[in-house]
Amino acid sequence: MSVQLHPSSFRDPDATVILKNGHVYRLIFNSYCHQFEQLVNSGLYEELVLGKMLVSHTEVDAALVNLPLSPNLFKIIKPERIPFISYPYEWSFFQLKRAAVLTLEIQLKALQKGMSLKDATAYNVQFNGSEPVFIDTSSFEIYSEGSPWQAYGQFCRHFLGPLLLWSYGKKEMLRLASSFIDGIPLKVISYSLPAKTKYSFFILSHIHLHAKLENKHQGDTSLKNKTISLSKDRLKALIEHVKNGIEKLHPLKESSEWTDYYETFSYDKTNYTQKQSIVRSFIEAIKPDMLLDLGCNEGEFSILCKDQAKYIVSADFDPLVITNFYAALKKHDIKNILPLVIDFTNPSPGIGLNNKERTSFIERSNYDAVLALALIHHLTIGNNIPFDSVAEILSKMTANLVIEFVPKEDPQTQRLLITKKDIFHNYTLEEFKSSFSKHFRIIEEKQLDNSSRVLFRMQLYA
């Protein structure tokens, strides 16, 4: 297999990431050799790796992995692999907050070792299950006494601004992050926050005045040769101030019709217990390494399967339930589940250069199994998506499917029809099976007692 440049790795002249035979390698060039040696020799790399703040790596010989040699090449490293790549606009509030605090803590530790982060994009953080980890080994530079933190503005665009928007009830605006690949502009954040936030010194200084200064001096070439001096102690104080402010932030308390779903669902406790048993048996039969739980709500079935699957991506369109779910994972110290805000009817698109810099959710989806419980009626009746389309999309994501059919007479389906004309004449069990049988063969089919709901285990045709 030929060597491929990672589609997001073209902006850094000091290092690049390549893909070969399913493995990821980072090529360090001679221009970065002094910074890399400082990272390792100062003890910063070891401290961050031991603290599970930075991905570990091993050095590899170019000849052993048959990679191309270059006179500009200093080292090749093979970083620890993250099971599933996610993006900031797919995270819950607490995930974004933990990623922000991690970035600031790394910057403080770097300063102690004579280094600094040269960028602070949220894309430099990934989640390994519920735990954030920094992934850009070549993001460190040697600190120069008196230098300000060049990445401060980027940090505010990627982390602080979005967290403040969510704190003040504007969580929907976080989708803007997929339109602004280098973070939501501060002027947009400033305009969007309530006027009362200007009475907060923290928000005034880091957002409103910051945005005003950016607008005032945008394109001002006279600033190019001006030197801004900031002592290391003052720089540390600035970062600590931002960190303390972020740690105090919380999402605006809200609820949605989905945050109490399992208190209002339409089958009784006996049915629910039976459903749990069936799902567990289906997943045990599949034995997936990677499982996707679509429409996971607050993750009841993801948690049920945490010992049957090595790694679980749990997706739901409602950011409130994903925020609650992530908080529960942290409370119970469950580490192999990654909750994400994903709308199946409008999943994250490919963005950036050639729409490949950040790939779409569908392109990133390659699961051993997909769990789709109590979802089909929302897709077909709630969003007018035909069975055929749902089946086709799922067939691109997995070879094994566990799916629940919720009939039209079910109270949850009837709720969807309260404000809609019933034009769904093909919404029947027979049509459902016919559509999915075009892509999957039905391995098992079990109906819940005293209910018309049916659970299926299906397998993609070879």
Pairing verdict, β 337-341 and 311-316: parallel
Cβ atoms within 10 Å, residue 197:
18
- What are the structural domain ranges in the chain? 4-79, 88-247, 261-460
Edge-to-edge strands of the sheet including 57-60?
Answer: 4-5, 15-20, 23-29, 73-79, 57-60
Q: Give the alpha-carbon dihedral of 340, 345, 350, 352, to 10 degrees.
A: -80
CA distances from 72 to 2, 14, 15, 310, 451 (A): 20, 10, 10, 40, 67
The pLDDT of residue 63: 78
Given a contact cutoff of 8 angstroms between Cβ atoms, the answer to whether 399 and 440 are in contact is no
Q: Which residue has the tokens 């060039």?
A: 29
The pLDDT of residue 68: 66
Radius of gyration for the alpha carbons in the chain, expressed in angstroms and rounded: 24
Given a contact cutoff of 8 angstroms between Cβ atoms, the answer to whether 430 and 451 are in contact is no
Spell out the residues 6+ positions from residue 209 whose beta carbon is closer than 8 angstroms to its own.
none
Q: Which two tokens stand for residue 328?
A: 């529960």
Q: Which two tokens stand for residue 404?
A: 């629940």
Spell out the residues 6+ positions from residue 204 whose beta carbon is closer than 8 angstroms to its own.
197, 198
Residues shown for the chain: 462
CA distance linking residue 115 with residue 127, whole number of Å? 24
The pLDDT of residue 220: 55
CA distance linking residue 98 with residue 242, whole number of Å? 13
Cβ atoms within 10 Å, residue 452:
14
The pLDDT of residue 253: 81
Of the candidates 275, 281, 318, 269, the residue with the CA atom closest to the CA atom of residue 297: 318
Question: Per residue of the chain (462 residues), what is the pLDDT tens digit?
Answer: 577 888 888 889 999 998 888 889 999 999 999 999 999 999 999 999 999 999 999 999 887 777 766 789 999 999 999 999 999 999 999 999 999 999 999 999 999 999 999 999 999 999 999 999 999 999 999 999 999 999 999 999 999 999 999 999 998 888 889 999 999 999 999 999 999 999 999 999 999 999 999 887 675 555 555 667 889 999 999 999 999 999 999 998 876 554 555 555 555 778 899 999 999 999 999 999 999 999 999 999 999 999 999 999 999 999 999 999 999 999 999 999 999 999 999 999 999 999 999 999 999 999 999 999 999 999 999 999 999 999 999 999 999 999 999 999 999 999 999 988 999 999 999 999 999 999 999 999 999 998 899 999 999 998
CA distance linking residue 125 with residue 96, whole number of Å? 10
Of the candidates 256, 23, 40, the residue with the CA atom closest to the CA atom of residue 142: 40
Cβ atoms within 10 Å, residue 409:
8
Host H or E run for residue 46: helix 44-50
Given a contact cutoff of 8 angstroms between Cβ atoms, the answer to whether 359 and 342 are in contact is no
The pLDDT of residue 174: 84
Given a contact cutoff of 8 angstroms between Cβ atoms, the answer to whether 95 and 132 are in contact is yes
* Whether the domain at 4-79 and the domain at 261-460 fall into the same CATH topology: no
Class of domain 4-79: alpha beta
Residue-by-residue DSSP string for 55-68: --EEEE-TTTTTPP
CATH number for the domain running over 261-460: 3.40.50.150
Residue type, 212: K
CA distances from 65 to 36, 45, 47, 136, 185 (A): 22, 24, 28, 22, 42
Q: Which residue has the tokens 């001002």?
A: 220
The pLDDT of residue 107: 98
Residue type, 426: N
Of the candidates 390, 404, 429, the residue with the CA atom closest to the CA atom of residue 276: 404
CA distances from 133 to 2, 101, 190, 371, 422 (A): 29, 11, 29, 27, 48
